[in-house]
Structure 1
Amino acid sequence: MQAKLTETYITKLKHKSERYDVRDTVERGLVLRVGKKFGAKHWHTFVYRGSKRRMVRLGLFPHMSVRDARMAAIQAKANANAPWTPEHIKTVADLFEEYRKAREPKMRAWRDVQSAWDVWGEEFLGYLKLTDVSIHHGRELRNHVSKKSTELRGSAVIRYIRPMFSWAVDESLIDENPWAGLKATAIATPRDRVLTNEEWQKVWGATFKDNLGAYFRFLMLSAQRKDNVASMKWDEIQGNLWTIPAEKFKATKKESAKAHEVPLTPALMEILENQPKRGPFVFGPTGLKQLRLGSREKDRLAKKAGVDDWRLHDLRRTAATRMTENKIPRFIVERVLGHADRSVTAVYDRANYREEKRQALNELSKN
């Protein structure tokens, strides 16, 4: 119901079996709520922050008069339209720091987010006041990265940084996501490059002429991710079994990551036995630090092998293809690769398939 609220009118209002509201016809949004039990009369008003509506409690009648309630409603609506952020979050750089504290412990791919911010985002956005950020800054950042690098990289940077603003809205740090309509349209085309048997043999032969040859050979015969092999430690090896710790293993969420067992075939054991133990890490010049590889090392090997147009990850795809061609069931190949099994059966099946994986890798070694 609605009425022109006055002290006399309000005094005559009686409580009912259910609470009810009376809307003021003078000040839009001002409401008097009459309680159902004792008939207490509270002033409220509705305000909008962006597209969201919320109710603000103003005071209790008769302690707050009609005139004061109308003035308070006007002030509440004015405050709602004013930009607000916590005192310690003034710039986008401040927001990113809060985002990092909240998300880094939970995100397996946080390294990619941090890299996108360090290389591109901080310089372009960090100095901006949080209240000044708009979708135009996102478009400019995307275009800047695309021009300096590639369109694919430009879209990737947006996809890594944009969730920060959604998170800030959920945490009530900002009212609206300024990048809500920002598109990151460039998508990587899945690669399907598989080395032929001849190319595989050429690359294998070239590894014996390279000072990182042991790493490349282990990569080819284990079918594991290049970063996991590069960061391999001696204490992860027990007998003829290599266990990649959960914190190193790729997963969308850290809590869903699990340790991955890689059976070590005689061929893999031979590579390890010939590696000098100079530090905690298996591969690398000194063994004291994780092996860091760039495109230069791979290009050097490709030149020695005389094989063009391939990446290190293509070795993993080729290894998986070779195992399948050797009649290894695809399910076992997935277990070798460490791919997640999202089927319902996986909830009940807790077998480690260690011997089946060992057989698959033995078949790969024959190539």
Structure 2
Amino acid sequence: MKLKLTPVGVAKAAAPEKGRTFYWDEGLPGFGLMVTANCHKSYVVQYRAGARSRRMHLKNGLTLTAARKEAKAILGAVAKNRDPLSERRKAERAESDTLKAVVEEYLTREGKRLRSINERRATLQRHVLPRLGTRQIGDITRTDIVRILDRIADESGAPMADHVLAHLRRVMTWHASRSDDFRSPIVRGMARTSPSQRRRQRILTDAELRAVWEAAGASQHVFGYLVRFLLLTAVRRSEAAGMQRREVIEAEWTIPQERYKTGLELVIPLSDAAQAVLSDVPKIGKAGFVFTTDGKHPISGFSKFKASFDQKVLALLREHDPEAKLPRWTLHDLRRTARSLMSRAGVPTDHAERALGHVIGGVRGVYDRHEYLSEKRRAFEALAALVERIVPPG
């Protein structure tokens, strides 16, 4: 049906009893109004591209004036031997094939089967998507990935680079299984550590961290308090186990040099969360040990306590995934996990390393004796804040 399209005419355009009908504009051939049986109205442009007839729908919500202006632009492109509908579809496909779009689709479709979906999303958003997110996934080269891994290894260590690589590998393998053309650029040999090194450099996933934290709180046992304290302070097991209450003065814990690995005294500013854990630990005996079962000696028998603790952790994991398994982990993994979380929370590398008591090598290590208390305090508060966002309340 042809008529002169006007705002009044568009408003009064009748809907068909079924299907759809078109009102073609007499003033602009190829431009028309489509009305469906349920009274939905939208503008369309009809044209020929070579031997093919094309019908292109304009976006909803346009006024008649705006729609006519857009239709003129489309028909002008057609006059120059272009195919606007084909170009639009190509652009839409390109947008859906960016790495960011593929990652989001992967997390959406596979999320229910992933125990660490939030950790995966955060890791990719922090380390990969800012640099490669807008790129077509098929255009990402092995060199692109190697450069990102080099940067991560330099800034956050080789284990973190391998952690990112593992997440990116899964996304690309998943996409390759759904695409006729895509081939993942990731190949064997791109990891920065050996399998044995990776076992020694394990960090807990968010799901594991939640289960460990919840099990520690539910146990109301000195071992559970120790687990939470290790995560919030990133210290070694032996350093925390021998902790005495007199070592804490005004929210600062001083580990004496004879009990610290480097042979140097270390001051650790305690976050509010770490202080809360200490306040919950029952005071037993008069020897002053914080983590003790008999009041006379530091806690020991870690293997026995951890075996029982792991059963509680596994039970919590299986509340969300009946087939869940708890990979082997150690208390030292909490220190690595804390260091990884600091990076994830945006703590500068130097400050995170100082917080862990690592010795800075070279000339800086010899001459830079500033204790970095303020920087370390901010690092531990950032760690505690991120832990709070990951774990369940309580």
In which range does the TM-score fall when normalised by the shorter chain? 0.3 to 0.5
Structure 1 or 2: more helix by fraction: 2
TM-score by length of 1: 0.46
